[in-house]
């Protein structure tokens, strides 16, 4: 990026010099020369913006790295304390659980930031989507103990394995489940289903939560859009980004106070042509 | 004959070294530590470790080349990488150089313990 910008600056200097020379030779063309010059100034501004974004990307990447180290020490120390806490210390157990949950939540934010800004190409492995969902559901039930939510599964056992990036598709399912969990009240219902449709697999996650207001529907995939008191709004933007990298699509249907259904469709065999 | 020690943890973050050493000692493993690659190499020449758990951003670290060197010194030792800087390409290179697995910090400690038990129960290790 640095080299590109310096090459571009050299090129602009050369063009500006040539324009001045040409203007001296043929003053009648001054207006055309001015137009080209204005466009160059405009374009330079845009290049500077891109340069700033590239720097921001580097800062985000370095920050993620720097935060993972202290988080790792906290995570490990908490594990040690939890392993050595007697059951006769319920308050201490409760507080170490809180620290653990907050570490996990911060780690998820870093993962989302990293995946969104770095957009790594999916590393595809033939995987059972049902097994991936089962694993996430068992983790999520431990992670979300505050509300009693009824999670029902409708996983079609006959769906074939699909070419997916396990970590990235895992983040997609976690994100959608987290949104569903946040939107339902005490004793809310979430349903997770899979089925195959021709050469694709569909994963649907529905809830009977608060729903998304119609006015917000067009903004839900924007990276800075969030209605939650916590979070950075990257969730669904990241979901869309990852699924499109898998050659798939995401559809969201919602009715206020009735609930939301998110359907993710991915090809069973991924190829560049899917993109 | 080299003395057998279960695990060598290599990291330049002192707090992390203390935390992870205590967790692993608590689970009954014998643990040694190092803070850079020179120390790691020197210890691996003297002691046989079942597992080396190492960070990647360390003084002296030369990537896959370092892991090739460790494997030459102690071919039966399982090397596990733990890194705060995740790059899929780097992971592929490390695995090719003989690294058993790469863990992104912070990772689930129960999963690490499962991995250690799995490799320890392998024949000859």
Whether A138 and chain B come into contact, CB under 8 Å, resolves to no
Q: What is the mean pLDDT of chain A?
A: 84
Q: How confident is the model at residue B76 (pLDDT cuts 50, 70, 90)?
A: very high
Q: State the smallest CA–CA distance between residue B13 and chain A in angstroms.
A: 8
- Cα–Cα distance, B66 to B9 (Å, whole number): 15
Identify which has the larger pLDDT, A1 or A23.
Answer: A23
- The pLDDT of residue A232: 58
Q: Do B105 and A72 touch (CB under 8 A)?
A: yes
Residue A68: list chain B partners with CB under 8 A: 84-85, 104-106
Helix axes A30-84, A2-25, angle to 10 degrees: 170
- The pLDDT of residue A273: 44
pLDDT > 80? residue A117? no
pLDDT digits (tens, 9 = 90+) for A212-234: 888 888 888 887 777 766 665 67
Percent of chain A with pLDDT over 90: 35
| Residue (of B107, B108, B120, B40) closest to B74 by Cα position | B40
pLDDT > 60? residue A100? yes
Beta bridge partners of B78: B51
Q: Do A74 and B106 touch (CB under 8 A)?
A: yes
To test the contact with chain B by mutation, choose from A80, A103, A167, A170 the residue with the greatest count of B C-beta atoms within 10 A, namely A80
Whether A69 and chain B come into contact, CB under 8 Å, resolves to yes
pLDDT digits (tens, 9 = 90+) for A120-138: 788 888 999 999 999 888 8
Distances (CA, A) of B58 to A62, B8, B37, B84: 16, 15, 7, 12
- This prediction's pTM: 0.70
Give the pairing of strands A259-267 and B3-10.
unpaired
Among A24-33, A93-102, A266-275, B105-114, the least confident range: A266-275
Sign (positive/negative) of CA torsion B93, B99, B102, B105?
negative
Whether B23 and chain A come into contact, CB under 8 Å, resolves to yes
Sign (positive/negative) of CA torsion A213, A216, A221, A226?
negative
- The pLDDT of residue B3: 57
Q: What is the mean pLDDT of chain B?
A: 89
- Cα–Cα distance, B72 to B16 (Å, whole number): 28
| Residue (of A107, A118, A127, A184) closest to A152 by Cα position | A184
* Partner residue opposite B23 with nearest CB, options A64, A68, A76: A76
- The pLDDT of residue B110: 93
> Looking at residues A196-210, what average pLDDT do you find?
93
User: Do the beta carbons of residue A200 and residue A274 sit within 8 Å?
Assistant: no
Please list, residue by residue across A229-265, b when 16 or more beta carbons sit within 10 angstroms of its beta carbon and e when fewer do. eebebbbbbbbbbbbebbbbebebebeeeebbbbbbb
Q: What's the complex ipTM?
A: 0.87
Identify which has the larger pLDDT, A263 or A146.
Answer: A263
- The pLDDT of residue A137: 87
> Looking at residues A72-88, what average pLDDT do you find?
93
- Cα–Cα distance, B52 to B80 (Å, whole number): 6
């Amino acid at each position: 990026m640095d080299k590109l910008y310096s090459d571009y600056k050299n090129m602009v200097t050369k063009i500006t010099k040539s324009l001045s020379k040409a203007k001296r030779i043929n003053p009648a063309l001054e207006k055309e020369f001015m137009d080209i010059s204005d466009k160059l100034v405009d374009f330079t501004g845009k290049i500077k913006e891109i340069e700033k974004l590239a720097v921001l990307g580097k800062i985000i990447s370095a920050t993620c790295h720097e935060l993972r180290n202290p988080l790792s020490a906290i995570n490990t120390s908490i594990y040690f304390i939890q392993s050595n806490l007697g059951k006769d210390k319920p308050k201490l157990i409760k507080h170490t659980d809180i620290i653990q949950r907050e570490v996990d939540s911060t780690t998820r934010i870093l993962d989302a930031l990293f995946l969104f800004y770095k957009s790594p190409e999916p590393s595809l492995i033939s995987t059972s989507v049902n097994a991936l969902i089962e694993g996430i559901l068992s983790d999520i039930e431990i992670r979300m103990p505050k509300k009693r939510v009824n999670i029902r599964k409708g996983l079609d056992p006959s769906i074939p394995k699909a070419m997916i990036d396990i970590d990235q598709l895992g983040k997609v399912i976690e994100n959608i489940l987290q949104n569903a969990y946040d939107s339902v009240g005490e004793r809310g219902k979430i349903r997770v289903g899979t089925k195959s449709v021709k050469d694709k697999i569909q994963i649907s996650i529905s809830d009977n939560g608060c729903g998304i207001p119609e006015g917000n529907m067009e903004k839900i995939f924007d990276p800075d859009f969030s209605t939650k008191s916590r979070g950075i709004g990257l969730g669904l933007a990241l979901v869309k980004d990852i699924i499109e990298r898998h050659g798939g699509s995401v559809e969201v249907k919602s009715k206020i106070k009735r609930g939301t259904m998110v359907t993710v469709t991915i090809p069973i065999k991924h190829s560049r042509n899917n993109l | 004959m080299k003395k057998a020690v279960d695990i060598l943890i290599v990291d330049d973050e002192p707090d992390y070294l203390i935390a992870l050493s205590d967790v692993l000692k608590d689970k009954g493993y014998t643990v040694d530590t190092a803070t850079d690659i020179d120390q790691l190499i020197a210890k691996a020449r003297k002691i046989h470790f079942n597992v080396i758990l190492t960070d990647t951003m360390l003084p002296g670290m030369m990537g896959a080349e370092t892991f090739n060197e460790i494997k030459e010194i102690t071919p039966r030792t399982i090397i596990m990488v733990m890194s705060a800087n995740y790059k899929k390409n780097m992971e592929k290179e490390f695995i090719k150089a003989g690294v058993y697995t790469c863990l992104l910090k912070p990772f689930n400690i129960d999963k690490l313990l499962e991995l250690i038990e799995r490799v320890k129960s392998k024949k000859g290790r």
